Amino acid sequence: MRHFKKFLCVLAMASIVIWSTSAFAAEIVIGFTGPLSGPAAEYGQECVNGIDMAIKEINAAGGVMADGQKYLFKLEQMDDKASPDLAVANARQLVLDKNALAIFNPVFTTTIPLLKINEEECGEFLVMGHTTTPKAEMFKNNLLLLDSPDMTGYAQLFAEFAWEKGWRKAAMVVTLGAYGDEWRQVFKTYWEKIGGTITADKPANYYTRTDFVAPLTAALATKPEVMLIGGPTATTALVIEQARKMGYKGGFMIVEQARMDVIAQILDGTKMMEDAIGTASVLSLAVPKTAAFDKKYRDAYKRMNTWESLLQYMSMHSLARAIAAAGTQDNVYAIRAAFPKAYPMLGDQFPGDMYGISSSGRMYIPLVIQSIKGGKFAPSEAYVWWTKSQDEFERIKKMSTYPTTMKHLKLKIGSTN
């Protein structure tokens, strides 16, 4: 068993550990470290809710079979306030004190340091990341899983959307940190490649800042026709509100971390969001199980469900499937190797489609975008971004439960997939 193997490791290192009685119970501990306080608290809580909902479903169905017996899951959550140092401290505590098999983390800035410790001998754990940044895969970590599309696809689609609108001048007011830095660089590279101009680059900390007048003033002084913005949803809504009040009439390209349906709820409608493009709402997918998932989620957590809750929910289910396929609850490398056997996960049983996983750990889920025109959300568009050939795309399209038009996105920026 995992706790016994760790006990042997501890003995070998001449360390003293006091094991709790609960550590020997037939349960698998799943950890979470993420922002549960501060401006990004809602974002972190949505992730926790999705994991919690999946765990409750799996446990209610009898748990998972591994090592010849049934195991139930237990969620242990900790607040890291989006601090890398605190995320590492939380992870070490979750592994040492709680014997966590896997740790979910939804912020790339805090995922990076976890990838530096999760393969340490006697302290191995799976990192269940929730980030679109392709740099996460460059770490070549053998215990990393990612449940989001590659951001390069979003950047390409946003740039092409803006170009078709006739916009040529773009300013960027995106969140600080590794995730925001990469978003700005990826977008800038493609935007300039097709002939666009970046008039201003004014990053701001969406996790701590409560006023964006200064960076917006600097950006708007360059007279952009469109702005790339975003970070956590609540502060992204504030950026939109303040930009409009400052007289900005152009478009918005909203990075996928921020959810447009939740922004519309915060801003009491879409009036301020005219000519915006971003991640489509979950309900716009309309796969067979979306509505049922939405109702169950709202009833349980008394709030709107988002991509965070949906993807973390599906990621947790895929982890359980991988454990069952591996037949072990303590061999993290065997469980990681078994992930391809967890798929496909389709909309007849889940609130979305997952078709497979890359060798670097990124789960194959369509990229879905939506724009706002005339005060209304346009129909969502789903893109398959990982297929290399038309035949491969056609196989995915045939398997898909998405009722919306499925398109093949040929990445022109480059991807680590």
What CATH number should be reported for the domain holding residue 273? 3.40.50.2300
Q: Do 250 and 107 share a structural domain?
A: no
| Average confidence (pLDDT) over 176-180 | 91
Q: Do 264 and 294 share a structural domain?
A: no
- Edge-first strand order for the sheet with 27-34 is 64-66, 69-79, 27-34, 102-105, 126-129, 144-146
pLDDT at 7: 47
Instruction: Determine contact, residues 43/35, Cβ cutoff 8 Å.
Output: yes
Q: Do 192 and 224 share a structural domain?
A: yes
- The label of the residue with tokens 């300013």 reads 171
Q: Do 115 and 155 share a structural domain?
A: no
Cis peptide before 35 (omega within 30 of 0): no
Q: Do 118 and 29 share a structural domain?
A: yes
Backbone φ, ψ for residue 31 (5° rounding): -100, 155
Weakest mean pLDDT among 1-10, 66-75, 99-108, 315-324: 1-10
Please say if the pLDDT value at position 22 is more than 80: no
Helix (H, G, I), strand (E, B) or coil at 311: helix
Number of domains observed in the structure of the chain: 2
Global pTM value: 0.88
Q: Do 256 and 136 share a structural domain?
A: no
pLDDT at 304: 86
Instruction: Determine contact, residues 70/64, Cβ cutoff 8 Å.
Output: yes
- Please indicate, yes or no, if residue 416 is contained in any of the structural domains: no
- Please indicate, yes or no, if residue 95 is contained in any of the structural domains: yes
Please say if the pLDDT value at position 357 is more than 70: yes
Q: Do 182 and 96 share a structural domain?
A: no
Q: Do 188 and 137 share a structural domain?
A: no
pLDDT at 207: 87
For the chain, give the mean pLDDT: 91
Backbone φ, ψ for residue 367 (5° rounding): -90, 125
- Please indicate, yes or no, if residue 183 is contained in any of the structural domains: yes
Please say if the pLDDT value at position 206 is more than 70: yes
> Domain range for residue 188?
151-281+369-385+403-408
Helix (H, G, I), strand (E, B) or coil at 146: strand
pLDDT at 40: 85
pLDDT band at 20 (very low <50, low <70, confident <90, very high): very low
Q: How far is CA 79 from CA 18, 31, 48, in A?
A: 24, 11, 11
Q: Do 134 and 12 share a structural domain?
A: yes
pLDDT at 284: 85
CB hemisphere CA count around 298 (13 angstroms): 9
| Average confidence (pLDDT) over 38-59 | 94
Helix (H, G, I), strand (E, B) or coil at 328: coil
- Please indicate, yes or no, if residue 356 is contained in any of the structural domains: no
- Nearest 10 degrees: CA dihedral of 313, 42, 128, 327? -40
- The label of the residue with tokens 């040929």 reads 410
pLDDT at 21: 34
Q: Do 155 and 145 share a structural domain?
A: no
- Please indicate, yes or no, if residue 256 is contained in any of the structural domains: yes
Please say if the pLDDT value at position 12 is more than 70: no
- Please indicate, yes or no, if residue 196 is contained in any of the structural domains: yes
pLDDT band at 153 (very low <50, low <70, confident <90, very high): very high
Q: Do 232 and 110 share a structural domain?
A: no
Residue 105 burial (CB < 10 Å; 0-12/13-18/19+)?
Answer: buried
Instruction: Determine contact, residues 358/382, Cβ cutoff 8 Å.
Output: no
- Please indicate, yes or no, if residue 47 is contained in any of the structural domains: yes
- Whole-number CA gyration radius for the chain: 21
Please say if the pLDDT value at position 179 is more than 70: yes
pLDDT at 414: 63
Q: What is the pLDDT of residues 297-309, one digit of tens each?
A: 999 999 988 899 9
pLDDT at 402: 87
- Please indicate, yes or no, if residue 396 is contained in any of the structural domains: no
Q: Do 170 and 78 share a structural domain?
A: no
Provide the strand spans (E) within 161-225.
169-174, 197-201
Please say if the pLDDT value at position 73 is more than 90: yes
Q: What is the pLDDT of residues 358-392, one digit of tens each?
A: 999 999 999 999 999 999 999 999 999 999 999 99
What distance in Å separates the CA atoms of residue 354 and residue 139, rounded to the nearest whole number?
A: 23
